[in-house]
Every structure is written in C-alpha cells, then in structure tokens.
Amino acid sequence: MNFKAGKHLLLIPLLFMALLWLGCYENSESNDQEEDLFSFQISPDDTNLLSPLIIEVIKEPIPIRANDGLVHLVYEIQITNFTTATIDLNKLTVFGDSVNNSPLLILEGDDLKQKTISLEYHPFKMAPLDQVVIDQIGPGKTVVSFLDITINDFDSIPGKLFNEIEVDGPPIIAQVLGNESLSMSLEVNIDKSDVLVLGEPIKGGRWINLNGCCDFSNSAHRRVIRSVDGKKFFPERYSIDIMEVDSENNLFTGDSNNNESWLGYGAELIAVSDGVVSRVVKGLPDNKPGESPPFPISLSDGAGNIVILHIGNGIYVLYAHLIPGSNDHLEVGDFVSKGDMIGLLGNTGQSGAPHLHFQVMDGNSIAQAEGVPFVFENFVNLGMLIDVEEEDGDNEGDGLDLDDIIDTDEEENFEQNSPGIFLTDVDLLEIPSSRVNEHQLQFTIIEFPE
C-alpha cells in the first residue's frame, strides 16, 4: 500500500468518529432543548387577582435603636390608583412574619390620613401638613404612606413585614375585580445590615433635635420627597436639625434678630468619622434670623455653606448652613480624620435660625440620594420637648419649620423679622441617661461628650 492510499484510509475512521460525535452533540442539544421546553412556570392565574392598586416599598427598612430605647423600622409605601375612579384609603395594618400574628401597627381613618401625602413636592410652609395629607387617591394618582414600626429589642425583629391595605371605591370596582381586590398585601423584607455608628458632630453642649426622625407630623424632613433628573428620592429620612439650648432651655439670649444671640451660633463642627471631602460650598452669607431665602431651593446652594464627607462604602455625611469662611480650609479630595474641624455652625442657605442640618445618605448629593440610618456612639439623654411656639412672622419656607404646631393665621400677626422659637414645656429627666449607639429622635434633648 502506498503512502497516499494509507493516508486516505486513516482518514476514514477519523471522519466516522467526527460524524458520530456530531450526531451525539446534536442529540444532546435536542435533549437539552426538550428538557428546557418542560421547564415552564406554573401559571399563577388561578390564585392571582386583578387589583385597583399598585403598591411598592420605597426602601427596605434597616432596624435602628433610638433614644426612646426602642428599635425603629422606618420606611415608606407608595400606592398608585390604577383605576379611573377615586379610591378611599381605609386601613393599613402591618404584621410581622405572618398576617396570622398580632399586628405591629394599625393605621385607619384619620391616623392613616395623617401619615399619607400625594407624591409631589411639598415646600415646608407653603404646604402645611393639614393641607397635604389625604385619605383618597384620585384616578391614576400616587400617594406615599410614611411608616415607623417600633420593636422592643433586636431579638424581636421579624424576618419580614406584611402590609395589608384596605380600600373602598365605587361598586363597579368590586363588580369588575371582585371584593377581594379591595384588600391587598405587600411583603417587605427587613435589611439587617449593621447600622452606621458615628462619633459626635459637635464637642459638648446641650442639643435639641427640632426636625428629625421619626415624627412625620412635626418633622418636615421626614416627609421630604425630591424629584431629581426624573427619579424620586427620600434623602432626609433620618436627617436632624439640632440647636443648642442652655440649662434653662433657652435657644437664644438677647435680641433674637442677631445670629450671635443664638446659643449654637459659631459652635465648632467636627468630623464624625475618617473621610474624604467630596463636596464643598463656600462664600454664602449668613441670613438674618427669620429671613430665609424664599423657595424654590437650588440644589447647588440651597443648604448654604456645606461640607460633604465620603466616609467609605458609598456613604456620605452632610454638614449644612455653615458660617461663611468657616469651611474655607477644605477642598474636594482632602482627607479628614475623625474629630477634625469641619466648619462653624451658622445660618446660611434655606435656614431661618442658626442650627446644624446633619444628614447621612448613599449619594454625594443633598437630594439625589436615599437617607441612610445612623446612630451616635455616645451621648447623654437629658429630656423631651413637650410644647413649642415659633414666632418668626413669615410664611416662607425656612428649612427649620415648626408651623405645623401653631396656627398659621396667628403666626402672620407676629411682627415680621422678630424670630423666636420658645421651648414652652420641657420634660427633663431627673437622672440624665447615658446612651450608646442610638439615634436622636425628634424633640429630644441630648448632651454630646466634651
């Protein structure tokens, strides 16, 4: 046999093996395709219901301990009316782990109304709370209910929250969709990530939180919704406005028209953590107390002179309303150590009186971000504000809003530019209580370590 003939004979078994492999491959591919055809979903149409609402949670809650000793689960539910008729909101019940358990929260009637607003921009004073809360959802409209579930301790936190919403509407809705459609449930997971622990933003002093979590009725920050570049955000979910008070619970001494009369004015603000400066706004003048710039705000300078620190893992902290010139030593990209000076407490931007606006968020923006929970690693609980009056004589938004507490018409009778916030009833603890890793709630008075 010559070489060429032998070479051709050798190719025959190789060709046969190739054809055999190709046949096996095609057969295997065919089997895979056949198995995939039988991997279909079980149809939900026998159990699912058409519904008049579209409901969703804005952001899963992260358990956070506050200085009332309770663990708080703070979140919002967005509800859209997917009909051409007006629907009445009747009841919202929250269960832990199962609807068969005892409810953790029941909101119905006026209680539910007082925690529900339409999904739209609500300037602080141009939209008093009683004018924006609603218990009805118009055709195609969307509302947001703001929730705060309290649990005794971390061991009692459920794995999930079940939110049951009951509504009423024209008979046609029940006729077309069935009576069961008037009650819907939303399952919400609980994010059990570790809560951010921060140092104090100020050394020493007695500080009251006049605009913070989780008091929806009295805290404008809690109900802030921002629309930025076509998306909605809740950046101020846990933000605080703190003002210094003296042992007699005065916020100022002397002429309240002067910033220097307010006790906190000029207080040194310090870094709550190691971080890198990610944004600075400088050079804006202090406001005269009671004369905040009018709305609408500007994202670039609405918070006045600010410093934002990136403290790692995509988390940012904001110091707002600083005295002009007090943050001139910082530039974007500067590293700061925990305890370093950030600036001085002032009254710039959307502010009607000297205070620190402090906010933690997941973006390098005062508005294009979601509010992130945080706790201070060490402070002393001193007491709780029971009653307050505000006399700033204006009806403009000033970023430190207490107008939900007193009658708007009565406020307009006060002399213009005679600002004053008076803590008329404070319940102080007989024995101050040291607190560790807790969040400062609305209307509480605490003392930071020196």
Q: Which CATH number fits domain 196-447: 2.60.40.10, 2.70.70.10, 2.40.10.120, 3.40.50.1970?
A: 2.70.70.10
The count of C-alpha atoms lying within 13 angstroms of the C-alpha of 426, restricted to the half-sphere facing its C-beta, is: 24
Each residue's pLDDT tens digit, 219-240 = 788 888 888 998 999 999 999 9
Residues 6 or more apart whose CB falls under 8 angstroms from that of 144 comprise: 58, 76, 77, 78, 79, 116, 117, 118, 119, 225
Give me the pLDDT at residue 277, please.
98
> For residue 400, is pLDDT > 60?
no
Find the helix or strand (DSSP H, E) in which 37 lies: helix 3-37
Closest to 267 (Cα-Cα) out of 197, 210, 319: 319
Q: Cβ distance 421 to 390 under 8 Å?
A: yes
Q: Which residues pair with 389 in a beta bridge?
A: 422
pLDDT the model gives residue 15: 58
pTM of the model: 0.85
| CATH architecture, domain 53-189 | Sandwich (2.60)
DSSP 86-111: -EEEEEEEEEES-TTSPEEEEEETHH
pLDDT for residue 296 is more than 70: no
pLDDT > 80? residue 146: yes
How far apart, in whole angstroms, are the C-alpha atoms of residue 382 and residue 423? Answer: 14
Which range is least confidently modeled, 11-25, 271-285, 310-324, 358-372?
11-25
**Would you state the pLDDT for residue 11?**
55
pLDDT recorded at residue 402? 45
Distances 425 to 386, 388, 391, 428, 442 between C-alpha atoms, Å: 5, 7, 16, 10, 15
More confident residue, 67 or 391: 67
In the structure, what pLDDT confidence band is assigned to residue 396 with cuts at 50, 70 and 90?
Answer: very low
Q: What is the pLDDT of residue 23?
A: 60
The pLDDT of residue 407: 42
> What does pLDDT average to over the chain?
85
Q: How far is CA 422 from the centre of its chain?
A: 28
Sorted by sequence, the CB contacts under 8 Å of residue 333 that are 6+ apart come out as: 276, 277
Q: Look at 12-26, 156-170, 266-280 and tell me which has the smallest mean pLDDT.
A: 12-26
Strand ranges (E), 226-337: 226-228, 231-233, 240-245, 268-270, 275-281, 305-312, 315-322, 335-336
Higher pLDDT, 18 or 128: 128
What b/e string do you get for 113-144 counting C-beta neighbours within 10 Å, with b at 16 or more? bbbbbbeeebebbebbbeeebebbbeeebebb
pLDDT at residue number 22: 53
Percent of the chain with pLDDT over 90: 58
- Greater confidence, 100 or 212? 212
- Cα angle 326, 331, 337 (rounded to 5 degrees) comes to 80
pLDDT of residue 405: 39
Domain ranges of the chain: 53-189, 196-447
Give per-residue pLDDT as tens, 411-450: 444 443 445 667 778 899 999 999 999 999 999 999 999 8
Mean local confidence (pLDDT), 174-189: 83
pLDDT at residue 435, as a whole number: 96
pLDDT value at residue 394? 45
Q: What is the pLDDT of residue 158?
A: 95
Bigger pLDDT: 97 or 5?
97
Q: What pLDDT is attached to residue 204?
A: 94
Q: Coil, strand or helix: which one is 74? A: strand
pLDDT at site 28: 67
Which residues on adjacent β-strands are paired with residue 269? 202, 343
Q: Tell me the two tokens of residue 370.
A: 């979601």
Name the pLDDT band for 361 (thresholds 50, 70, 90). Answer: very high
Determine the pLDDT at residue 89: 95
Enumerate the β-bridge partners of residue 254.
none
> With 70 as the cut, is the pLDDT of residue 80 above it?
yes
The answer to whether 419 and 289 have CB atoms below 8 angstroms apart is: yes
Q: How deeply is 338 buried, as exposed, middle or buried, from its count of CB atoms within 10 A (0-12, 13-18, 19+)? A: middle
The band of 8, judged by pLDDT with boundaries at 50, 70 and 90, is low
Q: For residue 344, give Cα distances in angstroms to 128, 265, 270, 323, 407.
A: 31, 8, 9, 6, 33
Q: How far is 252 from 232, CA to CA, in rounded Å?
A: 37
pLDDT band of 179, cuts 50, 70, 90: confident
- Tell me what pLDDT residue 20 has: 54
| pLDDT on residue 63 | 97
Which range is least confidently modeled, 20-34, 311-325, 422-436? Answer: 20-34
Q: Is the peptide bond before 373 cis (omega within 30 degrees of 0)?
A: no
The answer, yes or no, to whether residue 325 has pLDDT greater than 80, is yes
